[in-house]
Structure 1
Amino acid sequence: MLWLLLTGLGGAGASLAVPLVVQRVVDGPVARGDTRGLLLLGALALAFGVVEAALIFVRRWTHAAAAVGLEAAIRDDLYAHLQRLPVSFHDRWQSGQLLSRATSDLGVIRRFLSFGLIYLVVNTITYVTVTAMLIRLYWPLGLVVAASAVPLFIFARQFARGYLQASRALQEQQGDVATLVEETALGLRTIRSYGRSRFMAARFADEIGELRDIAVDKAVLLSRASAKFDLVPNLTLAVVLVGGSLAVANGELTIGRLVAFASLQLMLIWPIESLGWIIANGQESMTAADRVFEVMDTRPAVTDTPHARAVEPGPGRIVFHDVHFRYPGTTQEVLRGVDLEVRPGETMAIVGVTGSGKTSLVSLVPRLYDTTAGHITLDGTDLRDIRLDCLRGLVGVAFEEPVLFSMSVRENVTLGAPGATDEQIAEALAVTQAGYVYDLPWGLETRIGEQGLSLSGGQRQRLALARAVLARPRVLVLDDPLSALDVHTEALVDDALARVLKGTTALLVVHRPSTIAHADRVALLADGRIAAVGTHSELLATVPAYRAVLAAETAPAQGS
C-alpha cells in the first residue's frame, strides 16, 4: 500500500509541476522572445508528463492486482467460514443472499480498494497541496478557492447519508432476486407441473421492478450530487478568471502567474468531480462490508472443543444419555430425555409418526446439530470430545432428500472417499443398485448437472447411498434414503447392504415394514421420547402404538 501511495503522490507531483513550468515559460522565454529557452522548458514539461503517465500505469497495475488478490483471499475465507457454520444457520439464510455477499458485495469492496481508496487519498492530498500553492501564487484568489471547500463538505455530508441507505437497499434486493432465480431454476419442474410459469414470471417482474426502482433512485442521488460537485469548481474558476484578469490589469499579478493559477485551478476540477463517485463507491463498500461481516461475525455453533481429539475406529457403540434438543431460535423441545443404546454392529431402526423427532435424533450423531442437554457417546467418548473431521470420517450419512453436485458421477460418489479405486466404486454402486450410471453417455465421467435433476428421484437416492457406503464408515446414519425406490429395488438394496455392511453400526429412519424387518432392533419414538425398544416382531405383538404407526404408514399405499 505504501508503494502504491508513493506512486500516486509521485504522479500527482509531476502533474503539479507542469503549471509551474508554464509560469516560467510565459514570464520568461515568451516575454523575452527566447525560443531556445522555450524549447528547453517545453521539453521539461513533456518529461514531467511522461513521468506522470509511467507512475499512473505502475500504480493502477499493481494496485488492481493487489486488490484482486485481496478479494480472492476474502472470498476464500468467506467460503471456508460458510462450511464451518452450522446447519441451523443455513436453514435461516436465503442462499441468494449468501451468493450476493460472496460475489457482488466482494466485487464492490474490491473496486473501492482498487480505485476509490487510493483516489481518495491522492485527491485529498492534491486538493490541499494545490490550494496551498494557489494561496502562495496570489492569496486573495487562493482564499476564494479554499472557501469553496465549505459547500463541498456540506454537499458530501448530505449525499453520503442518503446514499448509504440506498446502497444497502439495493444490495439486499439483489440478494432477493438471486434467491428467486435460484429457487425458480431448482423448482422448474414443480412450477411447470402446476402451470405457474406466468405467476412466477409476474413475481420475478415485481422483484426486478423493485430492484430497478431502487437503482434509479440511487442513480438520481448520485446525479444530483455530481451536478453540485461539478458546479462549485466551475463557479470558482469563473471568479478566478475574472479576478485574475483584473489583478493582471492592475499590475498585481503577472500573466504567467495567472496562467499557472488557472492551470492549477483546472487540476482541482477532476478531484472535486470525482468526489461524488468516490463517496458513492465508499458507501457501497461500507454496506457491502457490513453484509459480509454479518456472515463472518457469526460464530459456528458446532465446533471442536479445546480438548477434542482424533480417535481410532472402535466397535461402534452409540449411547444417547438423557438427550434433549431444540432447534436454535425456538423454545419447543423436539427431543425430551432420550436414552438409547445402539450396540456395536447392530442395525437400529427409528420409527415414529411424522414430527416425532426421528430426523433430529439421527442428525445429532454426525453433529450436524449439538444436543441442548445430555450427551451422546461413541465407544464411550463424548461426541464433542472427538474432532469433527475425525467424527465425520467415522460416521456416514445419507438423507431422504439426496444432495448431488454439478460434477461427474465419479466425483459425486467419491466425495467422502476421494482415494477410492474403480473396483471399490463398482462395488458401492452394485450394493445400491446404481449400476445404471455405466449406461450414461460417459459412464462415471458423466456430469449429472446441478442437484442431479437429470436423474429420477430413485436414481439420485441410490447414488447418494452409494456415496455413503463407499466411505465404509464405522457408523452409518440413513434417514429414509430409499423412500423413492420401488419395493423390489428396495429389497435388493437392503439385502446387499446387510451383506456389505455387516459389522457396521447403523441407525435407520424408515417407514416401510419391509425395511424395518431387516433391522436387528427397533426404537419407537413418540413425542420426543423413546417409547419402546425391541425387535420388530416383539413390538408388533406387544406395543399398540407401534402397530398404529405402521398402520398409518401403510394405509396410503393400501388405499391408492
Structure 2
Amino acid sequence: MTLLLKYLRPFFKRMAIGTTIKFLGTIMDLFLPWILAYIIDSVIPQRNVSVVFLWGGIMVICSIFAISGNVIANRMASSVARDATQTIRHDLFETVSYLSIPQIDETGIPSLVSRLTSDTYNVHQTIGMMQRIGIRAPILLIGGIAITATLDPVLTLVLVSIMPLTIIVTTIISKKGIPLYGQVQIKIDRLVRVVRENISGARVIKALSKGDYEINRFDQVNRDLINSQIKAGTTMAATPPLMDLFLNLGLTLVVLVSAFRVNANLTQPGVIIAFLSYFTIILTAMLNITRIFVIFTRGIASANRIDKVLVKTPELEPISPEEAEAKSHLPSISSDSSDQIRTDISDHLVFEQVDFTYPNNRKKTLSNINFRLKRGQTIGIIGPTGSGKSTIAKLLLRLYDVSSGRILINGHDIRTIQSADLHQKFGVVLQKDVLFSQSIADNIQFGRHFTTEDLLESIDHAQAKEFIDKVPGKLDYRLKAKGNNLSGGQKQRVLLSRAMAGSPEFLILDDSSSALDYQTDAKLRTVLKQDYPNTTKVIIAQRIASIQHADIILLLDHGTIIGSGNHQDLLSHNTTYREIYEEQTGVTVTDETI
C-alpha cells in the first residue's frame, strides 16, 4: 500500500479532479430513482402533463451528466494508472540495472522478469479499478442508503441490518486471499524460469531429443501454477455468491415489509419502486466492492513484491580507504610484511592475498591469489574447469567483492573507486557474453561514442573486418538476439571489437578465442602486443597457445595457484603445465627442447 501511495502522490491533483467528476456523475445516477418516485407520487396525481415532461427532462439531463461524467472520469483514471505504472516499471528496471550480481542471484532473474511484467500489470489494474469502481461503488452504496433513509427509515433499517454480515465475510476472505496471490506470483516466477531455460537451451534439447522431458517439466510447473490460481480464485470467488445471498435476503425482507406498510398506508407505491431501484443500485455497488477486493488483494500482493526490489540499494558502492583496509584483513598498503606481496605504487594491477567464496557457498572458490602487473603487461590464466579462472575476472570488475585480501589499481583498492570510473577502465569479453538484437555498429558502440575510425580500427584489430565487409549493410547489418545469425567465431570477433574499441586501460579476455582458428588467434595475439602496448591484459584461456606469450602465467587448480611464471619457466619447473602443453600440442618436452 505504501508503494502505491508513493507513486500516486504526483497524480493527486489529476485524481482529485477525476474523483470530483466521478462524484458528480454518480450523484446524478442517485437522483434518478428519487425523481422517478417524486413523479409517481407527487406529479402524476396533479394530472399535469407539462410538469411530467419537465421532470422527465430533468431525468434526461441527469442521465447525460451521469454518463458524461463517468466517461471523462474513467479516461482520467486510466491515464493516471498508465502513467503511474510507467513510472513504477521504469524505477523497477533502473533499480534492477544497478543491483549487484549477488542481489540479482538472490532474487532470481525469472522473479525479476515476472515483477517487471505480471506484477506491474496487476498494480496497473488495481490503480485503474480503484479510481473507476473504487470511488463510484462506495458513493452509490452510502448515497443509496442515505437517500432510502429519507424515503422510508424502516425499510432502510431492514436493508442496513445485513451490512455487518457482508463486511465480516469480505474482511475474512480478503485476509486469506493476499498470501494466496503472493504464492501465485511465486509460481509464475518458476514458470518464467522454466520457459527461459527451455528457450535458451532449445538447441541442446533438440539435439538430445529431450522435448518430451521438457514438456513434462513445463506441465508440472504449469499445473502447480494452475492449482495455486484455483486455490486463490476459489477463496476469493466465495465473496460474490455470499454477497448475493445476503443482499437478496435483504431484498426479500424489504419486499415483505413493504407489502405490509403499503397496506397500512404507511408508505407510497412510488417510494417502494424507488426503494427497489436503490436496492438494485446498492446490490450492484456491493458486488462491485467485492470485485474490488479481489483485484485489490492481487494488486497489494504484487505491489509488495515490487517494493521488496525497489527498497534494495546497490551493495557494491564505493567505500572509504579505511573501510577497505579493515575488510581486507591486511596491513596498510605502505607497510612492509614478509607474508604479503610488496606493493609498489608503479604496479598497475595487484591481487594481494585474495580469497573469495560465493554467497551461500561454504567452500572457497579462490584462495590466496597473489600477482602484480606493470602497465602494458599481460597475464595469462589457465586451469581446469571450475578452477576459478573466470571468478578472477568477476572480482577485477567488482561484480563481487573479495572475501578477504584486496585488489589494487594504481595503488588504490578497487572498492574505493566509483563504479562508473572503474568500469570505464575495462574492455571485456566475458565467458558467456551477449550480443543484442541491434546492428553490428550498435553492438560495438554499446552506448559509447566512438568515431567511425575508432570502430573500424577495433574491427580490424579483432580480425572481424573480413566477414563484416561481406555481410549485407556491413556495420549496419542487424544481428538477431544473442547473435544467432553469426557463427561462433564471428560472434567472438564482434565481442572482441567491442572490448578493444577505444584502447581501454585494461583488457579482460575470458575464453574469447575458443571459437577462433589458430591462424586468427595468432594474428590477434600479435595485434595485442603491437597495437595495445599500454593496455594491461588479463587473458583467460583453455589453450596454452593463447597465453604462452604472456609475461606472467598463472596455473590454477581448485582455486589456488599451483604454478606461476612465464611459459619457459613453467615448462621447466611445473609438471602439470608441461603435461597440459604436451597434450595440447602433441610435442614431448625435454630439457634440450626447453
TM-score, normalising length: structure 1: 0.92
- Which residue is 1:45 aligned to? 59
Deviation at 1:118, TM superposition (A): 4.8
Question: Residues 189-200 of structure 1: matches in 2 within 5 Å?
Answer: 189-200=203-214
The partner residue of 1:428 within 458, 466, 469 is: 458
- Which residue is 1:311 aligned to? none
46 and 421 in structure 1: CA distance in 2 versus 1, 3 angstrom threshold: same
Deviation at 1:7, TM superposition (A): 2.1
Structure 1 residue 500 corresponds to structure 2 residue 531: yes
Take 2:585 and 2:240, find their aligned partners in 1: how far apart are those partners?
70
Can you list the C-alpha shifts for 1:405-432, whole angstroms capped at 9, x where unaligned? Answer: 122222111116x322333222222222
Gaps of 5+ in 2: 1-14, 323-344, 587-594
221 and 444 in structure 1: CA distance in 2 versus 1, 3 angstrom threshold: same
User: What letter is aligned with 2:449?
Assistant: G
User: What letter is aligned with 2:395?
Assistant: L
The partner residue of 2:416 within 385, 398, 401 is: 385
SS in 2 for 1:477: strand
SS in 1 for 2:238: helix
Contact 1:397–1:477 under 8 Å retained in 2: yes
Gaps of 5+ in 1: 309-313, 556-560
Deviation at 1:190, TM superposition (A): 0.6
Can you list the C-alpha shifts for 1:192-216, whole angstroms capped at 9, x where unaligned? Answer: 1101122222322333333334434
190 and 509 in structure 1: CA distance in 2 versus 1, 3 angstrom threshold: same
Can you list the C-alpha shifts for 1:471-500, whole angstroms capped at 9, x where unaligned? Answer: 421111111211222222211222222222
Deviation at 1:75, TM superposition (A): 0.8
Structure 1 residue 257 corresponds to structure 2 residue 271: yes
Deviation at 1:264, TM superposition (A): 1.7
Deviation at 1:467, TM superposition (A): 0.7
Deviation at 1:94, TM superposition (A): 4.1
Deviation at 1:336, TM superposition (A): 2.5
Structure 1 residue 514 corresponds to structure 2 residue 528: no
Can you list the C-alpha shifts for 1:94-144, whole angstroms capped at 9, x where unaligned? Answer: 433221110111011011101135523442243223223322322221111
SS in 1 for 2:508: strand
Take 1:465 and 1:548, find their aligned partners in 2: how far apart are those partners?
30
Identity of aligned residues (%): 25
Q: Alpha carbon RMSD of aligned pairs, Å?
A: 2.5
Take 1:307 and 1:13, find their aligned partners in 2: how far apart are those partners?
66
115 and 473 in structure 1: CA distance in 2 versus 1, 3 angstrom threshold: same
Contact 2:505–2:536 under 8 Å retained in 1: yes
Deviation at 1:221, TM superposition (A): 3.7
- Which residue is 1:402 aligned to? 433
Contact 1:432–1:463 under 8 Å retained in 2: yes
- Which residue is 1:230 aligned to? 244
- Farther-moved stretch of structure 1 (392-401 vs 535-544): 535-544
- Which residue is 1:152 aligned to? 166
Can you list the C-alpha shifts for 1:350-383, whole angstroms capped at 9, x where unaligned? Answer: 2333333221112111211111222222112221
- Which residue is 2:326 aligned to? none
- Which residue is 1:275 aligned to? 289
Contact 2:82–2:124 under 8 Å retained in 1: yes
SS in 2 for 1:439: coil
- Which residue is 2:11 aligned to? none
SS in 2 for 1:455: coil
Take 2:216 and 2:83, find their aligned partners in 1: how far apart are those partners?
40
The partner residue of 1:82 within 85, 88, 96 is: 96
The partner residue of 1:419 within 449, 452, 466 is: 449
Take 1:378 and 1:482, find their aligned partners in 2: how far apart are those partners?
26
Deviation at 1:315, TM superposition (A): 8.3
Take 2:31 and 2:320, find their aligned partners in 1: how far apart are those partners?
61
- Farther-moved stretch of structure 1 (201-210 vs 272-281): 201-210
Deviation at 1:527, TM superposition (A): 4.5
- Which residue is 1:11 aligned to? 25
TM-score, normalising length: structure 2: 0.87
Contact 1:320–1:376 under 8 Å retained in 2: yes
User: What letter is aligned with 1:127?
Assistant: L
Question: Residues 253-332 of structure 1: matches in 2 within 5 Å?
Answer: 253-305=267-319, 317-332=348-363
User: What letter is aligned with 1:419?
Assistant: H
Question: Residues 169-188 of structure 1: matches in 2 within 5 Å?
Answer: 169-188=183-202
459 and 355 in structure 1: CA distance in 2 versus 1, 3 angstrom threshold: same
Count of aligned pairs: 550
Deviation at 1:267, TM superposition (A): 1.1
SS in 2 for 1:14: helix
Contact 1:400–1:482 under 8 Å retained in 2: no
- Which residue is 2:406 aligned to? 375
SS in 2 for 1:234: helix
Take 2:77 and 2:582, find their aligned partners in 1: how far apart are those partners?
69
User: What letter is aligned with 2:32?
Assistant: V
SS in 1 for 2:537: strand
259 and 207 in structure 1: CA distance in 2 versus 1, 3 angstrom threshold: same
- Which residue is 2:6 aligned to? none
Deviation at 1:347, TM superposition (A): 0.8
- Which residue is 2:138 aligned to? 124
The partner residue of 1:27 within 41, 54, 67 is: 41
User: What letter is aligned with 2:39?
Assistant: V
